């Protein structure tokens, strides 16, 4: 893998992948919503600003990117408010746009651009939330479920085309916000961070069989692994989700 495109590059998983791949010497194009001044990109990373909620078609974005990178990792995500009312169609639709429609269209259009001899991979990020929806998570979970189906369609559309379209299904990530919330809670309860994390994982989803939040380095390792498999990974689902769906799915 020589070049990579990361969306959602200004925070969380996307920011970490951007830094890790830049550190490894890859040619990295990063997309985020923040202005350039506050995007805080590592040296050498080409940053493109785009608000997916406002993008109607991906033509201009694809032109700006200019080429199909070897690997595309769409990590941008919009999380709805926990107390969403489910009454505003435009609001509901915008989450589908950011979380499912734009990533699919962007990958589809970029893959169309590559030369037949270039192998390219698009590795979508799925979420364990699809297995257990409630008021606060249902809209988000449904956008990730849509993505789960769409990537399979894109994989079929890229059959026999020297490409691999796959999904990395993740469980709860060790992002800064979650780590700091758990640490604060641990102090309040007078227990260790490690004990409160185990408790959080058991309570958040009883199928989880891990004791730690999923770290960003392991996510990168999975992405590199899936990419290294080549076209045989087309349609693949790679799960680093702590067994979130239980035993039968």
Which residues contact ligand NAP by CB under 6 A? 8-14, 32-34, 50-53, 75-78, 98, 125, 127-128, 144, 170, 172-173, 175
Two tokens, residue 17: 């992948």
Q: Are 108 and 158 in contact (CB under 8 A)?
A: no
Cβ closest to ligand NAP, residue 68 vs residue 106? 106
Tell me how far, at minimum, the Cβ of 50 lies from ligand NAP, in Å.
6
Tell me how far, at minimum, the Cβ of 103 lies from ligand NAP, in Å.
9
Tell me how far, at minimum, the Cβ of 40 lies from ligand NAP, in Å.
10
Two tokens, residue 200: 């959080």
Task: Tally Cβ neighbours within 10 Å of residue 154.
Answer: 21
Separation between Cα atoms, residue 32 and residue 11, nearest integer Å: 8
Tell me how far, at minimum, the Cβ of 223 lies from ligand NAP, in Å.
12
Q: Are 17 and 219 in contact (CB under 8 A)?
A: yes
Separation between Cα atoms, residue 9 and residue 33, nearest integer Å: 9
Cβ closest to ligand NAP, residue 112 vs residue 176? 176
Tell me how far, at minimum, the Cβ of 53 lies from ligand NAP, in Å.
4
Tell me how far, at minimum, the Cβ of 160 lies from ligand NAP, in Å.
28
Separation between Cα atoms, residue 234 and residue 151, nearest integer Å: 10
Q: Tally the C-alpha atoms within 13 A of residue 244's C-alpha that lie toward its C-beta.
A: 22
Tell me how far, at minimum, the Cβ of 98 lies from ligand NAP, in Å.
4
Strand boundaries in the chain, DSSP class E: 3-7, 27-32, 46-49, 71-74, 120-127, 163-170, 237-240
Strand pairing category for 163-170 and 237-240: parallel
Cβ closest to ligand NAP, residue 88 vs residue 230? 88
Cβ closest to ligand NAP, residue 136 vs residue 231? 136
Cβ closest to ligand NAP, residue 9 vs residue 155? 9
Residue closest to ligand NAP when measured from CB atoms: 12
Cβ closest to ligand NAP, residue 51 vs residue 212? 51
Closest Cα to residue 96, out of 53, 34, 127, 48?
53
Cβ closest to ligand NAP, residue 118 vs residue 193? 193
User: Cα dist. 243→123, 188, 230 in Å?
Assistant: 20, 29, 25
């Amino acid at each position: 893998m020589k070049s990579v495109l990361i969306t959602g590059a200004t925070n969380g998983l996307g920011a970490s992948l951007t830094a890790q791949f830049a550190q490894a010497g890859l040619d990295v194009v990063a997309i985020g919503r923040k202005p350039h001044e506050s995007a805080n990109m590592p040296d050498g990373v080409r940053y493109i600003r785009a608000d997916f909620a406002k993008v109607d078609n991906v033509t201009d974005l694809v032109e700006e990117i200019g080429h199909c990178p070897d690997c595309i990792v769409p990590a941008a995500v919009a999380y709805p408010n926990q107390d969403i009312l489910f009454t505003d169609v435009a609001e509901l639709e915008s989450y589908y746009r950011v979380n499912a429609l734009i990533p699919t269209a962007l990958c589809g259009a970029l893959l169309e651009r590559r030369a037949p001899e270039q192998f390219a991979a698009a590795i979508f990020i799925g979420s364990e939330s699809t297995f257990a929806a409630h008021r606060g998570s249902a809209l988000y979970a449904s956008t990730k479920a849509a993505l789960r189906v769409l990537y399979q369609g894109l994989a079929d559309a890229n059959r026999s085309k020297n490409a691999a379209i796959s999904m990395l299904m993740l469980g709860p990530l060790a992002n800064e916000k979650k780590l700091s919330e758990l640490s604060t809670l641990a102090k309040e309860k007078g227990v260790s961070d490690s004990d409160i994390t185990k408790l959080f994982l058991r309570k958040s989803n009883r199928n989880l069989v891990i004791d730690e939040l999923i770290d960003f380095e392991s996510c990168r390792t999975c992405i590199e692994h899936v990419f290294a498999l080549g076209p045989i990974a087309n349609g693949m689902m790679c799960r680093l989700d702590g067994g979130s769906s239980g035993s039968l799915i």
